[in-house]
């Protein structure tokens, strides 16, 4: 049973958001217990993706280093600008303009998907320094009371892109003459991914969730039809989520783009949660699918002139300049719009720039009261 809200919970203490210090509320549950209840459909408040989980991306997995995205006890050695070779020997370089690493342009690793059998050297996962990484992180970076989420880069279509470049990858997915080879490659890739995940969960038993990356769309539309994803990707993802669920691990999909059409495929693939990017109508996604998959939402009632500003910094500053009472009104409307007992949502990390102190306070208090039954949304 969810305890009633106590105003003392609004007293601030030290916390973290994306690894940076922030002020957090005096939560009645620790991060681990709160997020476990959230993912099992019994939230005490609306989980905030940016601050209510502990991100763990160990350097022992080569893709984390290549992507410049290491978060662990030794991350100081791997922070951006970084890049390098991923687990298949593909070279990534840090691109400051996009704030991330991309495959170094030039000759693709594979010209045709059929070449994978002869050209790809599959990584020896056992040879990675799991013991050393576990010794450095267990009990130090990873501590009791955390809800630990590990990002898993380069899913299925993303892996094809990294090996073949986008145009060749999407043709391989679509072309009936190459689909059989894509299936064979994805089958072998799934075996590799399951091997990596088993090592991760064996050596880092405090991992609670996997955040699996596979982009499926652009600003305006999905790259491919739902039927293509259903045939070419869903069966392999389902093997991943089935295994993770068998280990008691929650499964979140990261997939960029305007991809409302693909949400049924996410559900069929077994994902517990998805965070739509801001070009999506997250209210419609929540209304249509929020009882089958947790949707990470964001306020869609921000003034339009602020939403249309060209940079995140400009949007953040303009929103913060609104009168505090207006910020609170927006936050209250949002909290009541997408939080229901039996149909919770998370607050998306994509919209962390709207989280002024007033907004964070209102969302926390209102959702605490909604999920304890003190108020009706």
Tens digit of pLDDT for each residue in 13-66? 887 665 567 788 999 999 999 999 999 999 999 999 888 899 999 999 999 999
Which of 36, 1, 5, 47 has its CA nearest to residue 344?
Answer: 47
Residue written as tokens 């691990």?
Answer: 249
Q: What is the pLDDT of residue 151?
A: 94
Q: What percent of the chain has pLDDT over 70?
A: 98
List all residues 6 or more positions away from 289 whose beta carbon is below 8 Å from its beta carbon: 263, 264, 267, 295
* Phi and psi based region of residue 165 (left: phi greater than 0; alpha: psi -120 to 50; beta: remaining): left
∠ CA(368), CA(372), CA(377), 5° rounding? 75
Q: Which two tokens stand for residue 44?
A: 């005490």
List all residues 6 or more positions away from 194 whose beta carbon is below 8 Å from its beta carbon: 239, 240, 243
Residue written as tokens 């999920």?
Answer: 371
Q: What is the pLDDT of residue 16?
A: 67
Q: What is the pLDDT of residue 101?
A: 85
Domains and CATH numbers, the chain: 31-66+104-371 (3.20.20.210)
Cis status of the peptide bond prior to 44, with omega within 30 of 0: no
pLDDT band at 80 (very low <50, low <70, confident <90, very high): low
pLDDT band at 216 (very low <50, low <70, confident <90, very high): very high
List all residues 6 or more positions away from 6 whose beta carbon is below 8 Å from its beta carbon: 28
Which of 183, 163, 162, 177 has its CA nearest to residue 239?
Answer: 183
C-alpha gyration radius of the chain = 21
Question: Which residues are paired to 360 by β-bridges?
Answer: none
Q: In a 10 Å sphere around its CB, with 0-12 CB exposed, 13-18 middle and 19+ buried, how is residue 362 labelled?
A: buried
- This prediction has a pTM of 0.95
Q: How far apart are CA 367 and CA 377, in angstroms?
A: 9
């Amino acid at each position: 049973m969810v305890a009633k809200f106590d105003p003392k919970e609004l007293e601030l203490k030290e916390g973290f958001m994306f690894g940076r210090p922030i002020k957090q509320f005096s939560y009645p549950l620790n991060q681990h217990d709160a997020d476990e209840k959230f993912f099992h459909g019994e939230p005490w408040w609306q989980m905030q993706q940016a601050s209510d989980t502990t991100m763990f991306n160990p350097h022992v997995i080569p893709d984390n280093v290549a992507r410049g995205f290491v978060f662990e006890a030794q991350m100081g050695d791997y922070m951006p600008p970084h890049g390098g070779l991923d687990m298949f020997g593909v070279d990534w370089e840090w691109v400051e303009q996009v704030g991330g690493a991309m495959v170094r342009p030039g000759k693709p690793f594979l010209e045709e998907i059929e070449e994978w059998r002869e050209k790809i050297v599959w990584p020896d996962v056992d040879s990675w320094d799991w013991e050393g990484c576990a010794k450095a992180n267990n009990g130090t970076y990873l501590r009791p009371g955390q809800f630990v989420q590990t990002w898993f880069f380069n899913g299925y279509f993303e892996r094809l892109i990294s090996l073949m470049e986008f145009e060749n990858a999407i043709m391989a997915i679509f072309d009936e003459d190459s689909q059989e080879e894509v299936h064979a490659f994805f089958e072998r890739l799934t075996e590799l991914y399951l091997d990596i995940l088993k090592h991760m969960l064996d050596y880092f038993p405090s991992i609670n969730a996997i955040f699996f990356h596979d982009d499926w769309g652009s600003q305006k539309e999905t790259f491919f039809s739902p039927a293509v994803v259903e045939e070419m990707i869903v069966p392999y993802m389902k093997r991943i989520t089935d295994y993770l669920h068998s280990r008691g691990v929650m499964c979140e999909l990261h997939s960029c783009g305007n991809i409302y059409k693909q949400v049924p495929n996410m559900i069929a693939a077994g994902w517990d949660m998805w965070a739509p990017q801001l070009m999506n109508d997250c209210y419609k996604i929540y209304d249509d699918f929020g009882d089958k998959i947790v949707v990470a939402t964001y306020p869609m009632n921000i003034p339009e002139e602020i939403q249309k500003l060209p940079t995140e910094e400009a949007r953040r500053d303009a929103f913060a300049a609104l009168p505090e009472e207006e910020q609170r009104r927006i936050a209250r409307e949002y909290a009541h719009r997408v939080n229901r007992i039996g149909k919770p949502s998370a607050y998306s990390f994509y919209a962390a720039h709207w989280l002024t102190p007033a907004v964070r306070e209102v969302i926390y208090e209102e959702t605490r009261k909604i999920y304890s039954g003190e108020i009706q949304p």
